[in-house]
Structure 1
Amino acid sequence: MTRQPGGEAAVTGSCAAAVDAGTEILRAGGNAVDAAVATALAACVADPCNTGIGGYGGHMVVLTPEGEGWCVDFNTFAPPGVPDDHLRTVESRTGPAVSTMPCVVAGLAAALTRFGRLDWARVSTPAIQAAETGVEANPTTRAAFAQVRGRNFVGETFVLEEEGDRLVFRQPALAATLRRMAEDGPGWFYDGPLAGRAAESWRSAGLSLDPADWRAVPDAVRIAPAPRLRIADADVWSGPLGTSGSLCLFGILAAAADIGRDLRRPEGLARLAGAMAAVWSHRFGPSGGNAVDPAGLPDWIRRALSGMPGSGPRPGDVGHTCHLNTLDHDGTMVAMTLTHGPFWFGGRWVLPGTGVVMNAGMPLFRWADPVHRGGRRFAVTNLAPTLVRCDDGTRCAAGTPGARRIPGIVATTLARALWGGFTLPDAVSAGRLHAESRDAATLERTRHEPAVEAAFAGRFRSVGTEEWTQYYGPLTAIRRGADGAAELGLDDREGPGFGRVLGR
């Protein structure tokens, strides 16, 4: 595979400050992974309702100029001292009892060491500056702050400055934590005093956490070849099979490639929704399973798409997530998703004196059994950062928030752009749809013609409406042409996406 040097570079993300951080690092000579780490750290400051350094992954998928796909897997896992029955029965939405092990810092550090050019201190600089000087809240962040106004963790973490409709928030304690990590390295997050503070916090909730388990979090990060599937004229890479949403992503995208330009027609979209429901039913139904190795992936998809959708409840409207993409001048691409968990601001508690808001990962264990690996119990998520390389030299990076809708949204968007005859911006803006069983499908009525609902009604027992608020943030995408030119796809819904292209 030949390099394409001298092409355009690009960054997309959920907030302007994060995109600014990635752009700064690219201009300073960093590559796409350096830019992705800087963008993620800045998002942990500027998009605090959806992610943070007390959050979790999360996967980074990297496509090199030579066509190698790699995955940095920093998915969360349960604290080792927490009993299995707590995983299945936890009712709390706040406090240490709802939090799992924070893996964001460990994952970003591992990616930077393996693939980056710059050091941790340099890629941390934009995030530190944003925490110190403040960030203007976007519409999603303003709505999130309104929901938690008066909570103790807000006063411990944020300095809010309001003027009319404008809200600026600073995070002085978090800035000090980020600065200490810049000075001592990211290992300080796990080897320093935070381990003891975390153990004390968990004990206050009646749970056991050995500081040694906190210090061992970086050992759980895995870097391995990303799962890949050949679909039509493209190679597709996504997150780890079994612990991400990639199984559904691959299955839905394979079905969408067969539908092709019929994705513009109501019946084509109804066929896609039926395939989506079949894949979901196979993954979590009695005949399917969430465990498959890469060699068995094509057969798993064949069986999923040949089966009938099962019955099941409509998914709940939870899941707050942050996604970003980066592209450097040499053609390396990154897609990465990280999160605080199902609720805005995660577990809504702070490691004392640090400004680090902790995650709400524990509810993940209630909807799917954990995956056991290396003596740890890893959560099953639906995150699906995705990279595509087409035979004509085109490359794409895409991802989105949206909880259980993530694999379907990403797959539908990419299929429209790759095989449906849509421009990338039009594919991102086009109406969304979702289905997990024959009982119910949902669609974004404001962006579909009435004939689409009629076509759905012929396949599903009920058809509901989806609003932009059920997607929890923006879908963003980057397409690099064979000539090295970059095109952005940025969500135009009320929670918009942000992006920037840098010239050659």
Structure 2
Amino acid sequence: MVATSQPLAAQAGLDILKRGGNAIDAAIATAAALTVVEPTSNGIGGDAFALVWTKGQLHGLNSSGPAPQKMTIDAIKERGYDKIPSHGLIPVTVPGAPAAWAELSRKFGRLPLTEVLKPAIEYAENGYPLSPTLAKFWDRAFKNFKQNLTGEEFHTWFETFAPKGRAPKAGEIWSSRNHAKTLQEIADTGAESFYRGKIAEQIADFSERCNGFISKEDLAGYQAEWVKPIKVHYRGYDVWEIPPNGQGLVALLGLNIAKGFDFAEKETVDTYHKQIEAMKLAYTDGKAFITDPSDMKVTVETLLSEEYGASRRSEIGEEAITPNPYQPPKGGTVYLAAADGEGNMVSFIQSNYMGFGSGIVVPGTGIALQNRGYDFSLDPVHPNALRPGKKTYHTIIPGFLTKGGQAVGPFGVMGGYMQPQGHMQVIMNTIDFGLNPQAALDAPRWQWIEGKKVQVEPHFPNHIAQALARKGHQIEVAVDSGGFGRGQIIWRDPETGVLMGGTEPRTDGSIASW
């Protein structure tokens, strides 16, 4: 089974399973296809993280890239900025996604990468029709870029993604032969060309020409990193995330606080109030502490301890509280889950950030570069202060659920700072309220924004929204569900081995199974 946000990508992963590949091969195929069939959310020039269950063990892969060596606080301030810009070459960090595909294939894959990337290459070469949600986000990005990205360095983005001078429409065919050519070279070289060959030279030469920071040396020095997943025990289950620099810790902090409460029913004011308050406290801690592990001032073990969870829980009363506020930026990410008949399961996420990323496409390659450097602080005493070679606080997080040392399965909810909030809500829907995977994803969502401000979806129960307002929450009903994340779930029944999948109704989500 493969579950993701785009039907053609889910089918690409299933095709690889039918050709004899395992769940890891399927995940790579799906991820590569998503760079083609959902470029509004991810690309070859983005980052990736994965949780892989195989032979009774869970493995974590951090394939996020660091700041280039020339990217310093002083260098950015010398260019007249007091905050890192969101677009252009300045916020571009080393892309990790191609390294993730190659490393997953090397360590756990069964089929050669040249076979696994074939579906993605074919869609890039021959084209595909846009699905409705994809077309909506593509048009939104085009209008924003057309108005704001006017420099010469952005021309290739418009040539690539708006070849007719506008965004392609739903049902219209779009292709990118340069994208296909780059994917083929990644497949042929096991991503070596991207980091230490021809593609690396193209990226570095364009960066230098346009006064960017990323260099051949930055790319050549990059390796994806295997990490030990972190967990919290929640009502008989273990919920797993990738450790910092990712924000998966926030989801675990929220669950660690919430597990001290009894939630008798889902649709009650008390349930929503306590969930929101727990997440506020979790995010306040996350923003205060999460960064590159080498710079963290407090350990994950301390933050996830029973004592710390209890102390934070004691701060929750009957009224909404105001933690230290911050303003979360918008996200742009894809999430996928894959499982095979041998018991292998993969939770995989990749992103360019803020939709299309930096607005930069490297000429002749189809590579849209990410803008993760935007999240660094230029305040040298800030925990996430910029320094060369450092990995920033990262929004994209894959999740995994186990029980009694056995895999239940992968889950994820993409969408910027909604992600840990979505993880918490989906896990509580599953464990506390007994919802099946589809119902767990369909349920109305809330999102804490800052202070006492909480957004709810248009179909969120109105009487509960009003009661939350009476508790001091500043409730804002969103005009649509676009900012509430897009999730996927695959659970395996421990007795029968049967897979149960749920896919996101807020996008063009699809489950392909065989």
Which TM-score band (shorter chain)? 0.7 to 0.9
Work out the CA distance in 2 between the residues paired with 1:102 and 1:287: 20
SS of aligned partner of 2:90 = helix
Contact 1:424/1:487 (8 A) holds in 2 = yes
Contact 1:120/1:186 (8 A) holds in 2 = no
SS of aligned partner of 2:138 = helix
**103, 107, 110: which one aligns with 1:117:** 110
**429, 432, 445: which one aligns with 1:416:** 429
**13, 21, 24: which one aligns with 1:22:** 13
1:469, distance to aligned residue in structure 2 (A):
4.5
Summarize deviations over 1:419-442 as a string: whole Å, max 9, x none.
Answer: 212222111011111226552222
User: Which residue of structure 2 lines up, in the alignment, with residue 131 of structure 1?
Assistant: 124
Please, what TM-score do these two structures have when normalized by structure 1? 0.88
SS of aligned partner of 1:77 = coil
Report how many residues are paired.
484
User: Which residue of structure 2 lines up, in the alignment, with residue 60 of structure 1?
Assistant: 50
1:454 aligns with 2:456: no
1:346 alignment partner AA: G
Summarize deviations over 1:28-71 as a string: whole Å, max 9, x none.
Answer: 222211111111111111111111111123x10112241x2211
What are the equivalent positions in structure 2 for 1:356-367 lying under 5 Å apart?
A: 356-366=367-377
**232, 238, 258: which one aligns with 1:235:** 238
1:78 aligns with 2:71: no
User: Which residue of structure 2 lines up, in the alignment, with residue 370 of structure 1?
Assistant: 384
Work out the CA distance in 2 between the residues paired with 1:81 and 1:183: 30
Range moving further from structure 2, 449-458 or 243-252: 449-458
1:128, distance to aligned residue in structure 2 (A):
0.6
Contact 2:289/2:296 (8 A) holds in 1 = no
What are the equivalent positions in structure 2 for 1:150-169 lying under 5 Å apart?
A: 152-158=155-161, 165-169=170-174
User: Which residue of structure 2 lines up, in the alignment, with residue 32 of structure 1?
Assistant: 23
Question: Cα distance 1:84–1:186, how it changes in 2: closer, same or farther (>3 A)?
Answer: same
Unmatched 5+ stretches in structure 2? 147-153
1:354 alignment partner AA: T
User: Which residue of structure 2 lines up, in the alignment, with residue 206 of structure 1?
Assistant: 211
Question: Cα distance 1:89–1:136, how it changes in 2: closer, same or farther (>3 A)?
Answer: farther
1:62 alignment partner AA: V
Question: Cα distance 1:392–1:95, how it changes in 2: closer, same or farther (>3 A)?
Answer: closer
Question: Cα distance 1:191–1:32, how it changes in 2: closer, same or farther (>3 A)?
Answer: same
User: Which residue of structure 2 lines up, in the alignment, with residue 245 of structure 1?
Assistant: 247
Question: Cα distance 1:291–1:454, how it changes in 2: closer, same or farther (>3 A)?
Answer: farther
Summarize deviations over 1:340-389 as a string: whole Å, max 9, x none.
Answer: 112x211112112111111121211149743899x721010232211101
* Two-structure CA RMSD over aligned residues (Å): 2.9
Question: Cα distance 1:158–1:172, how it changes in 2: closer, same or farther (>3 A)?
Answer: farther
SS of aligned partner of 2:401 = strand
Contact 1:137/1:167 (8 A) holds in 2 = yes
**278, 281, 289: which one aligns with 1:278:** 281
1:306, distance to aligned residue in structure 2 (A):
3.4
User: Which residue of structure 2 lines up, in the alignment, with residue 385 of structure 1?
Assistant: 398
SS of aligned partner of 1:100 = coil
Work out the CA distance in 2 between the residues paired with 1:184 and 1:326: 25
User: Which residue of structure 2 lines up, in the alignment, with residue 3 of structure 1?
Assistant: none
Contact 1:228/1:237 (8 A) holds in 2 = yes
SS of aligned partner of 2:265 = helix
1:496 aligns with 2:496: no
SS of aligned partner of 2:454 = strand
Work out the CA distance in 1 between the residues paired with 2:218 and 2:453: 42
Question: Cα distance 1:139–1:369, how it changes in 2: closer, same or farther (>3 A)?
Answer: farther
1:293 aligns with 2:299: yes
Summarize deviations over 1:414-467 as a string: whole Å, max 9, x none.
Answer: 2111221222211101111122655222222x3322231133224434111235
1:18, distance to aligned residue in structure 2 (A):
1.1
**460, 465, 487: which one aligns with 1:475:** 487
User: Which residue of structure 1 lines up, in the alignment, with residue 58 of structure 2?
Assistant: 69
2:64 alignment partner AA: N
Summarize deviations over 1:69-100 as a string: whole Å, max 9, x none.
Answer: 21100112211111124398445343212311
Question: Cα distance 1:248–1:254, how it changes in 2: closer, same or farther (>3 A)?
Answer: same
User: Which residue of structure 2 lines up, in the alignment, with residue 5 of structure 1?
Assistant: none
Question: Cα distance 1:125–1:414, how it changes in 2: closer, same or farther (>3 A)?
Answer: same
Please, what TM-score do these two structures have when normalized by structure 2? 0.86
1:222, distance to aligned residue in structure 2 (A):
1.0
User: Which residue of structure 1 lines up, in the alignment, with residue 151 of structure 2?
Assistant: none
Work out the CA distance in 2 between the residues paired with 1:17 and 1:154: 23
Work out the CA distance in 2 between the residues paired with 1:393 and 1:357: 39
Contact 1:62/1:70 (8 A) holds in 2 = yes
1:121, distance to aligned residue in structure 2 (A):
0.8
Work out the CA distance in 2 between the residues paired with 1:305 and 1:440: 20
1:175, distance to aligned residue in structure 2 (A):
0.6
Contact 1:14/1:323 (8 A) holds in 2 = yes
SS of aligned partner of 2:41 = coil
Contact 2:45/2:370 (8 A) holds in 1 = yes
